[in-house]
Amino acid sequence: MQVELLKVIVRAIVSNPEAVKVTEERRHAQTVLLLEVAPEDVGRVIGRQGRIIKAIRKVLKTAGGPRAKYVTIDVVSR
Amino acid sequence: MSGERDGLGPGWIEVTGRTVEEATLVGLQRLGLAAAEDAEVEVLEEPQRGLLGVFGGRGARIRMRRRPDRLEALSRLALDIARAAGLEDLSVDSFRDEEGYIHINLKGPGLGRLIGRRGETLDALQYLLNLASARMPGRPERVIFDADGYRERRRQALEALAERVSARVRRTGREVVLEPMTPQERKIVHLAVAREEGLTSESRGQEPFRRVVVKPAPTSGRDGAAGGESPDER
């Protein structure tokens, strides 16, 4: 659920939606969402002082279902 | 050259031509559009050159549709986000107000999940919808996002609060410090207090714990403008 939610949100705010990929990973007891975007879009998902990624996290936490509390988002680009 | 076909989806037409550019021009005409920016174009098949550049070659095949306008696109995005959050059966009411703001209001069951504690999730979504709006072609437009009329209910609750607190300040002559609020919420309270005779308000503290203080206006005959910050913060 969170994977899809993260994809929908990020695709709407980047300049290169086709490059957006989200994969889910278990690390210890945590769910980590790996968010991959085009290099030029990294700033667009993080924002000044992390403002954008904070808003995304907030939405994933409350809207993402019961397990959402333990989600971490890692932003990567290739 | 086929028209709408199964699986094309609403509004899409399929067009062929010798080249992608040629097909696009034909498609624009069929859609009644003036410029390529008004359309979404997806290439289904690139043209392929045949033997000797002539025989057995294949033209380009593309699909096109009118680019959804911003109001439509943002409404769809809000619904897509809600659906990804597990909320089905929602409806959306969207319009532009006189000041040019785009309003997106979701209605239906389970929306508490998009509102969050004291509207924090609603504000986060509004911020993200504004970013999405800014990425769309054309002049940027601001978005006000609401779910189940939460913002209006909250405004009424804050105005009622301001009235109650004003009465108390007037009765006791002592200032009252309210709970921390977002800048938008504080503005509603400041404006409500400004309508009260003999009272003034200011904000104190640092975000996100900034609070409105309601207090008796200075009696020196100067109007509320004395001291403190302007209540017209945003």
At residue B233, what are phi and psi to the nearest 5 degrees?
-65, 165
- pLDDT for B118 equals 84
- pLDDT for A20 equals 93
Structure tokens given for B4: 């709408």
- pLDDT for B51 equals 63
Asked whether the beta carbons of residue A5 and residue B128 sit closer than 8 angstroms, the reply is no
Q: What is the mean pLDDT of residues B192-207?
A: 94
Asked whether the beta carbons of residue B116 and residue A58 sit closer than 8 angstroms, the reply is yes
Judged on CB neighbours under 10 Å (0-12, 13-18, 19+), B99 is exposed
* B→A interface, C-beta within 8 Å: 77, 80-81, 84-86, 113-114, 116-117, 120-121, 124-125, 127-128, 131-132, 135
pLDDT surpasses 80 at B106: yes
Q: How sure is the predictor about B1, in pLDDT bands with cuts at 50, 70 and 90?
A: very low
Asked whether the beta carbons of residue A59 and residue B81 sit closer than 8 angstroms, the reply is yes
Asked whether the beta carbons of residue B77 and residue A63 sit closer than 8 angstroms, the reply is no
Give the contacts of B184 (CB within 8 A, at least 6 positions apart): B123, B234
Q: What's B77's DSSP letter?
A: H
- pLDDT for B52 equals 62
Say whether domain A2-77 belongs to CATH 2.30.30.30: no
How many CB pairs (< 8 A) connect A and B?
Answer: 63
Domains of chain B plus CATH, in order, are 3-66 (no CATH), 70-148 (3.30.300.20), 153-216 (3.30.1370.50)
- pLDDT for B161 equals 97
Nearest chain A Cα distance for residue B221, angstroms? 44
What is the rounded CA–CA span in Å between residue B227 and residue A46? 38
The model's pLDDT over B37-55, given as tens digits with 9 standing for 90+, comes to: 888 888 999 888 766 655 6
Give the contacts of B72 (CB within 8 A, at least 6 positions apart): none
Instruction: Please state the domain extents for chain A.
Output: 2-77
- pLDDT for B227 equals 44
The model's pLDDT over A12-69, given as tens digits with 9 standing for 90+, comes to: 999 999 999 999 888 887 778 889 999 999 999 999 999 999 999 999 988 776 666 5
Mean pLDDT of chain B: 87
Say whether pTM exceeds 0.90: no
| B200-205: Cβ within 8 A, 24+ apart | B200/B224, B200/B228, B200/B231, B201/B231, B202/B227, B202/B228, B202/B229, B202/B231, B203/B229, B203/B233, B204/B177, B205/B180
